Each structure stands twice: as structure tokens, then as C-alpha cells.
Amino acid sequence: VQLQASGGGLVQAGGSLRLSCTISGISNRASDSYAMAWFRQTPGKERKFVAGISWAGIAMRYEDSVKGRFTISRDRDDIKNTMSLQMNSLKPEDTAVYYCAVDQPWGGRPKDDEYEYDYWGQGTQVTVSS
């Protein structure tokens, strides 16, 4: 299983970015269901949960500081398998390396504990200037 995160960059406070995560090599059968999430990490600190989405795309979960500003979504069919994070009204404190992750098998509400996740992308840097 491979995850490829993209879409990071430098943006001014108040601006927007859209992160994408493409997943390959993973089964899309319902019996192999999985949740997906975005985490972020700043130097010297633990990786923290940002947002997660369930297998069916119905249950979503957000860290309190991003509620109302970030929106997670996923697109899954026989051909593609992607997850996105639309980030609006960005703040300097959103600056971090953002990672996408998969929790498999799990068909329920996404978890916020990084140790529950089995596969990780390489990270993409988001920098918000004041």
C-alpha cells in the first residue's frame, strides 16, 4: 500500500490550500474497509490528528481548531482512490507537515490516535505566513 500526499505550499494567512492523497495497492472491497485521516506535525512535537473520514465517507471527524475551516472528502471507485483536505481561512498556526494515513481494517468512525493507523504518506509541507 502506498500513499502519496500533495498540494502543500506557502500561502498567506486567510488563504486556502487543497491537499490530496492518492492511495494505491489497497483493496476497495467492502470486506477490507478502511478509514482515512490527515495528521500534522511541527518540529519537536507529536503528530496530531487533523481530520478523518470513514470508509463510506459518511462519518467525518475534525480536530476542534480546524472545524468550520477544513473539509475532508474522499473519492473511491474501481479506478481511483483519493482523499482531499480543503483548507480555508488558514492561520499561521496551521503551519506543519501534513500526512495522510489509512486505518485498515476499520469501517467505523475515524480514530484520532496515530498509532491506530497502518499506512502513511510521506508528508507535504504547509506554510502559512502572517
Between vectors from CA 18 to CA 45 and to CA 67, what angle results, nearest 5°? 65
Beta partners for 126? 9, 96
> Could you tell me where the beta strands, DSSP code E, fall in 2-118?
2-6, 9-12, 17-24, 35-41, 48-53, 60-62, 70-76, 81-87, 96-103
The pLDDT of 53-72, averaged and rounded, is 96
Whether the predicted pLDDT of 87 surpasses 80? yes
pLDDT value at position 52?
A: 98
pLDDT value at position 97?
A: 98
Collect contacts of 41-44 with beta carbons under 8 A, ≥24 apart: 41/96, 41/97, 41/99, 41/123, 42/95, 42/96, 42/97
Residue 111 or residue 107, greater confidence: 111
The pLDDT of 34-59, averaged and rounded, is 95
Q: Is 90 exposed, middle or buried (0-12, 13-18, 19+ CB in 10 A)?
A: buried
Other Cβ atoms closer than 10 A to 14: 11
Whether the predicted pLDDT of 80 surpasses 80? no
pLDDT value at position 2?
A: 94
Whether the predicted pLDDT of 37 surpasses 90? yes
Tell me the percentage of the chain whose pLDDT exceeds 90.
82
Whether the predicted pLDDT of 94 surpasses 90? yes
